[in-house]
Structure 1
Amino acid sequence: MKRKASAVWNGTGKEGKGHLNTQSGALKDLPYSFHTRFENEDGKAGTNPEELIGAAHAGCYAMALSFALNGAGFTAEELKVDAVVHLEKEEVGFGVPKVDLKLDATIPDISEEKFMELANDAKKNCPISKLFKAEITLDANLK
């Protein structure tokens, strides 16, 4: 299975602007820029890659935990996951050294021990968590 997204950028890094699109159409010409990434804390002017990674990680984790719970004989009434992606200045450029996941779960008839076991396993094994260790390939073409 493959999923596709695209980005188009015009201009310089600081003054330029771009837009994002996804195969599903969930994102269609969604704007992003230096301003929306580094200066606009409320996020109303557009998105940024870290916000999108956070949404992807929160969604993936919730789904992975739901499957793990089901496999162990439990069904969650609700899994609310917040992801905070830390973007920090490094010696050269920026990096993402940490993602904080916060889970608020309502799961009937599960012990705290079993809940923590499954929650930690899902954190380790959801595909987006694994992404940070993935091989990244590049097919670069200059027109």
Structure 2
Amino acid sequence: MSEKKASVHWEGGGKAGQGQISTETEALQKYPYGFASRFGDDRKGTNPEEILGAAHAACFTMAFSFAADKAGFATERVDTTASVRLTQQGEGFLIDRIALTLKAKVPGMDEATFQKLAADAKANCPLSKALAAVPEITLSATLVQ
């Protein structure tokens, strides 16, 4: 069993406020975020959707690599991008889509096995399961030779 922690400190109100995100491992330490980094063009801070995308991509990638190992294939290179879309819904917001894009080099693996393992990893990684309320999670998987 594993339990990881992250914390946020926020000062000020809604649009004018500023927050800092920290993680137990200190990978993020008082990392800034706020309205402008979430809804505007501030590239100095992060936002919850970007962090969620990174977490989902990391979890899915690891699940795919483990599945390839179990099937007898060593992954040489696996690159994943997760695009998280936040849309306005009434007075609030909703994450309505996460698009995973996988490019992997797995020597000896055929296309059918690759697509099956990628789809299984998408369905079964812990973050995909936790994000089951997202209406659309897509996967585009490319086997690189």
TM-score, scaled relative to structure 2: 0.88
User: SS at the partner of 2:7?
Assistant: strand
CA distance in 2, matches of 1:92, 1:117: 40
Percent pairwise identity = 45
Paired positions, count: 132
Higher strand proportion = 2
Tell me how large the CA RMSD over aligned residues is. 1.1
CA distance in 2, matches of 1:73, 1:36: 43
- Counterpart of 1:139 in structure 2 is none
Moved beyond 2 Å, runs of 4+: none
CA distance in 2, matches of 1:133, 1:108: 32
- Counterpart of 1:51 in structure 2 is 50
Structure 1 residues 29-85: Cα deviation after superposition (integer angstroms, max 9, x where no partner): 000000110002xx6220000000010011111100000000000011101000000
Say yes or no: does 1:34 pair with 2:25. no
- Counterpart of 1:80 in structure 2 is 79
Q: Structure 2: state its 5+ residue gaps.
A: 134-145
User: SS at the partner of 2:28?
Assistant: coil
**For 1:1-143, what aligned pairs fall within 5 Å after superposition?**
1-40=2-41, 44-133=43-132
Equivalent residue letter for 2:122 = K
Q: Structure 1: state its 5+ residue gaps.
A: 135-143
